Structure 1
């Protein structure tokens, strides 16, 4: 995919298609690169849609019947569950670009059973960047979906480590990479309320945050505030092992892991969303800094 650049006096964003591969913040005439990028190890700040994270063994039941989302999925040989949607591997068309924004579009593709498309718009302004996703259902049946972002942030910029701060109601209990129906109050929830730097290889968990609340990423050099649509009530924190232990993922998203199957089992608060035929639905995340 083609690379694009947006730049003003406050930041510079470089994308590969709609995925962020560089995000530099200018503060006091110093440029801080806050994202990691290593394509060989799948390190790229990408979009997750039309589902986020894992769907157990790829099984998805809907008005279109039963679909195996592992079929023809590019990562099916590496993961036992269908992971991160399809648009990461899609071809994207440039719709519009100017000095402050970039808009692209892709069709929803196999193995996803619904016809539709997704638009991504990235905009930069005075000390902020906004990423907006708009999904369109071009099918004749109501379409369930979830969407979100999978950024990889640097633990350190030039001195001390990052602290993550957010207010969580609970996290989903995880067993074999998937949530049970149990919602738990784990010990790190209180730590995150005050600001916490989790160690590598300690977390790969989904937290239910308060609707419309802020998520703060605090380095000694600057603070980044992630403010997402109120539907993005779930946040995955992933602290990977080597060779990516110098990074961590803070992922705003609309639903928990395996949301389609949990919803089918009548588990509450999964975050699954629905869009009517010939209608669209938009979510956004705004990152501002000081």
Structure 2
């Protein structure tokens, strides 16, 4: 099927998916107001089969060291699918199913399936990674770029969340393995929320949006002037090495996130 953009609509909510640009959500508009930073590198892209950085682009799997391209020197970052073209398996007015076959440079054959479902007050994204023959470690996550200010002006977005801990960040931007008390921003940091990711973004007087997931890890990045990122994921950065989740031919890795909004 075509990899042209797909528009989902539900009441005054509209989500645009770009299968040909990394399977990302290119736009999310509520009542005509754009929530996501625009541009081919932005929107909200899936991070798979790993999230964030891998130290030196290397991970150990089945006793072998695998080398990924160094695209955030000296590390590899955000998986292999965000620059590729996804296939449209099916879509309706409110739901789309996209698939991506894992290929080189990822060394293991498999398939990623992402489902986007839009309702009048929520967008749910689910993703699964399947292995065909060899088992391998993997991660799933999403990297949304939420506009710091909404069209028409108003105050900057406010972030509210109560993590149980913050992963101490080393000079190489990777977790050191130590858990520390959460520190004030700005952040490019991973936090632990063992009861599930629950982060509220509030554009005062305009809109409230909750990012939720049953996963316990979230990276928050708010060091840029244009946007803030709230990234639920199945493990921390460098997690293929430190918290590997094994995908086997009989046990896929699955995750989901739901964004729910209301007018203020």
| TM-score, length of structure 2 as denominator length | 0.90
SS class of match (1:261): helix
Q: Provide, for residues 20-79 of structure 1, a one-character-per-residue CA deviation record: whole Å limited to 9, x for no partner.
A: 1110012xxxx221110222xx32310000100000001111116211012xxxxx3553
d(CA) in 2 for partners of 1:78, 1:284: 26
Aligned to 2:190: 206
Paired residue for 1:178, among 171, 174, 197?
A: 174
Q: What are the residue-to-residue correspondences of 1:1-290 with 2, within 5 Å? A: 1-17=3-19, 18-26=23-31, 31-39=32-40, 42-63=41-62, 65-70=64-69, 76=70, 78-141=72-135, 143-157=136-150, 158-175=153-170, 176-188=172-184, 198=185, 202-220=186-204, 221-228=206-213, 230=214, 232-241=215-224, 245-262=225-242, 270=243, 272-290=244-262
Q: 1:164 to 1:137 in 2, by over 3 A?
A: same
Q: Provide, for residues 73-127 of structure 1, a one-character-per-residue CA deviation record: whole Å limited to 9, x for no partner.
A: xxx3553201000111222111001111011111112222221000111011131
RMSD value, Cα: 1.6
SS class of match (1:36): coil
What are the ranges of 5 or more consecutive residues in structure 1 without an aligned counterpart?
A: 71-75, 189-197, 263-269
d(CA) in 2 for partners of 1:83, 1:62: 18
Q: 1:238, 1:250 within 8 Å by CA — same for their partners in 2?
A: yes
d(CA) in 2 for partners of 1:155, 1:44: 13
Q: Provide, for residues 116-173 of structure 1, a one-character-per-residue CA deviation record: whole Å limited to 9, x for no partner.
A: 00011101113111111011111233x2111100000011113111111112011111
d(CA) in 2 for partners of 1:281, 1:180: 25
SS class of match (2:177): strand
Q: 2:188, 2:220 within 8 Å by CA — same for their partners in 1?
A: yes
Shift of 1:239: 1.7
SS class of match (1:236): strand
d(CA) in 2 for partners of 1:204, 1:213: 16
Q: Provide, for residues 257-289 of structure 1, a one-character-per-residue CA deviation record: whole Å limited to 9, x for no partner.
A: 111222xxxxxxx4x422222432321111111
Q: 1:64 to 1:93 in 2, by over 3 A?
A: farther
d(CA) in 1 for partners of 2:162, 2:62: 36
| TM-score, length of structure 1 as denominator length | 0.82
d(CA) in 1 for partners of 2:256, 2:182: 28
More helix, by proportion: 1
Tell me the matched-pair count: 253
d(CA) in 2 for partners of 1:79, 1:105: 29
SS class of match (1:111): coil
d(CA) in 1 for partners of 2:168, 2:38: 30
